[in-house]
């Protein structure tokens, strides 16, 4: 061994020794799952289909009488039979049955691409999907396109031209495909990945940088770039397209006041607004398009926002309610979650699709993607993922919205996973 190897071994051993075995938290095993008889799965699936069809018919009947509210038709498009979900623990993304949760296919991203990269997914109409995955041999990622067959199998998996996306400091963070699948919008988030910084004796860390959006032509790979978000903490939380592909709508969140000596947004300093861009302009400033919805007393904390394909309505995840504080520790976000639909024209709420209380939010993992809403190509069905992951990640949730309820989907504990249908 060289002196360097000796020193490394010694330092690692000493650092590991600082974690005594007897001081470790006990592990918690999940509750035992009951084994189901083999005949139960097909019967349950059949019952599920009957139930879904029945509810769809009922919802259609009910909604045909309430459409005068000005919102889009809800529940008329068939429920997508499959959804795509990012692989957990470095696995490849998989297609799962919406009815049973069963995995029907694994998306064949290159094996090396599974290592350490969160794959981002987006769906278009006709069972077309896009996924970003690490580009082997580079520090960036590549965009792939594929389709799901009617039996949930992956077909036509191919790389989208245009080269590598991002690099070690810039990673794809949100993505949406135009409904016809001809273009893909990808937002990039900056996360410094260089040598150590910020600690005693080290140089200061580079300042954070605002997100930007690339719109990529899925046929040619040509890109148009949109920059100019407000402030260094500007972040794109969600993206969506109108059906005609003439508007790309994004939710941008920013911070007008940082906590002293930190890069953390101070309490009450967060702002958020939903804007529309004209993709035909070929790039430009992110603040060049009109504001469709803005954080306000009525919508105090907008987490996600998507435009319906007809462009008339915004479906948003909004947090409201009073943040509690005890023992000097304040909640991080308001506790009452609502998925609502808002008129683009008037800004008035049209209907509530789902509500839930998050409980104390003192310790939740409020990364930028801790709540994610994904709509289907028809803009009539929504996946809602709550990757809250407090404590031991048992209080997250994941499912699709049906009649004010969250129908659980795997992974049921939420996690911060990307998914699409």
Partner 1 sequence: MSYQIWEAGGLGPGASPVADSGASVSALFREHHAELVRLAVLMTGDRASAEDIVQDVFARLCARDQLPDPGGVLAYVRAAVLNGCRSALRRRAVARRFGAARDALAADGIRRSAESEALLAEDRREVLAALDGLSRRRREVLVLRYWLGLPEAEIAAVLGISPGTVKSTAARGIAALARQLGEPA
- Is residue 10 within the footprint of partner 1 (CB under 8 A)? yes
| Residue 140 Cα to chain centre, angstroms | 20
- Is residue 327 within the footprint of partner 1 (CB under 8 A)? no
- Is residue 41 within the footprint of partner 1 (CB under 8 A)? no
Spatial strand order in the sheet of 170-177: 170-177, 183-190, 212-217, 223-227, 284-285
Site stretch for partner 1 (CB under 8 A), options 85-93, 177-185, 314-322, 335-343: 85-93
- Is residue 3 within the footprint of partner 1 (CB under 8 A)? yes
For 112: left if phi > 0, alpha if psi spans -120 to 50, otherwise beta; the answer is: alpha
The span from the CA of 206 to the CA of 227, in Å, is 19
Give least dist CB 113 to partner 1, A.
10
Q: Which of residues 378-397 bind partner 1 (CB under 8 A)?
A: 392-394
Phi, psi for residue 127 in degrees, rounded to 5: 75, 20
Give least dist CB 300 to partner 1, A.
15
Give least dist CB 166 to partner 1, A.
12
Give least dist CB 259 to partner 1, A.
8
Give least dist CB 261 to partner 1, A.
10
What DSSP letter does each residue of 204-234 carry, written as one string? Answer: PPPPP---EEEEEETTT--EEEEE--SSTT-
Phi, psi for residue 124 in degrees, rounded to 5: -120, -175
| Beta-strand relationship, 120-123 and 291-294 | unpaired
Give least dist CB 27 to partner 1, A.
4
- Is residue 159 within the footprint of partner 1 (CB under 8 A)? no
- Is residue 310 within the footprint of partner 1 (CB under 8 A)? no
- Is residue 332 within the footprint of partner 1 (CB under 8 A)? yes
Q: Which residues on neighbouring strands pair with residue 187, listed in sequence order? A: 174, 213
Site stretch for partner 1 (CB under 8 A), options 149-157, 158-166, 190-198, 307-315: 190-198
Tell me which residue of 293, 271, 395 sits closest to 341, measured CA to CA.
293
- Is residue 199 within the footprint of partner 1 (CB under 8 A)? yes
- Is residue 268 within the footprint of partner 1 (CB under 8 A)? no
- Is residue 302 within the footprint of partner 1 (CB under 8 A)? no
What DSSP letter does each residue of 200-212 carry, written as one string? Answer: TTSPPPPPP---E
- Is residue 21 within the footprint of partner 1 (CB under 8 A)? yes
Nearer to partner 1, 148 or 305 (CB): 305
């Amino acid at each position: 061994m060289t002196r360097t190897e000796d020193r490394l071994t010694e330092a690692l051993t000493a650092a590991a020794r600082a974690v005594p075995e007897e001081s470790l938290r006990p592990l918690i095993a999940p509750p035992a799952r009951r084994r189901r008889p083999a005949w139960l799965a097909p019967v349950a699936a059949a019952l599920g289909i009957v139930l879904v069809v029945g509810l769809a018919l009922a919802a259609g009947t009910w909604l045909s009488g309430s459409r005068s509210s000005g919102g889009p038709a809800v529940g008329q498009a068939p429920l997508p039979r499959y959804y795509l979900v990012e692989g957990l623990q470095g696995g490849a993304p998989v297609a799962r049955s919406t009815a049973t949760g069963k995995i029907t296919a694994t998306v064949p991203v290159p094996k090396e691409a599974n290592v350490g990269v969160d794959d981002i997914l987006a769906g278009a109409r006709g069972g077309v999907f896009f996924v970003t995955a690490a580009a082997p041999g580079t520090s960036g990622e590549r965009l792939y396109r594929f389709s799901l067959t009617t039996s949930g199998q992956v077909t036509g998996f191919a790389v989208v031209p245009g080269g590598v996306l991002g690099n070690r400091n810039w990673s794809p963070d949100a993505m949406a495909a135009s409904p016809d699948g001809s273009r893909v919008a990808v937002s990039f988030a900056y996360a410094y990945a260089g040598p150590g910084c910020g600690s005693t004796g080290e140089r200061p860390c580079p300042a954070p940088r605002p997100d930007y959006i690339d719109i990529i032509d899925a046929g040619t790979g040509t890109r148009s770039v949109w920059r100019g978000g407000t402030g260094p903490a500007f972040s794109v939380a969600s993206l969506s397209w109108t059906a005609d592909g003439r508007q790309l709508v994004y939710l941008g969140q920013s911070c007008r006041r940082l906590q002293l000596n930190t890069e953390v947004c101070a309490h009450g300093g967060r702002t958020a607004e939903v804007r529309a861009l004209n993709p035909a302009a070929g790039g430009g400033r992110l603040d060049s398009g009109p504001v469709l919805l803005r954080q306000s007393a009525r919508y105090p904390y907008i987490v996600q926002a998507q435009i319906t394909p007809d462009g008339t309505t915004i479906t948003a995840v909004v947090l409201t309610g009073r943040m509690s504080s005890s023992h000097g520790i304040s909640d991080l976000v308001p506790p009452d979650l609502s998925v609502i639909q808002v008129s683009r024209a008037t800004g008035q709420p049209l209907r509530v699709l789902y509500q839930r209380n998050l409980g104390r939010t003192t310790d939740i993992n409020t990364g930028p993607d801790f709540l994610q809403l994904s709509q289907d190509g028809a803009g009539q069905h929504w996946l809602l993922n709550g990757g809250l992951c407090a404590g031991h990640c048992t209080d997250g949730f994941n499912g699709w919205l049906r009649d004010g309820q969250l129908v659980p989907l795997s992974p049921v504990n939420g996690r911060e996973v990307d998914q699409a249908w």
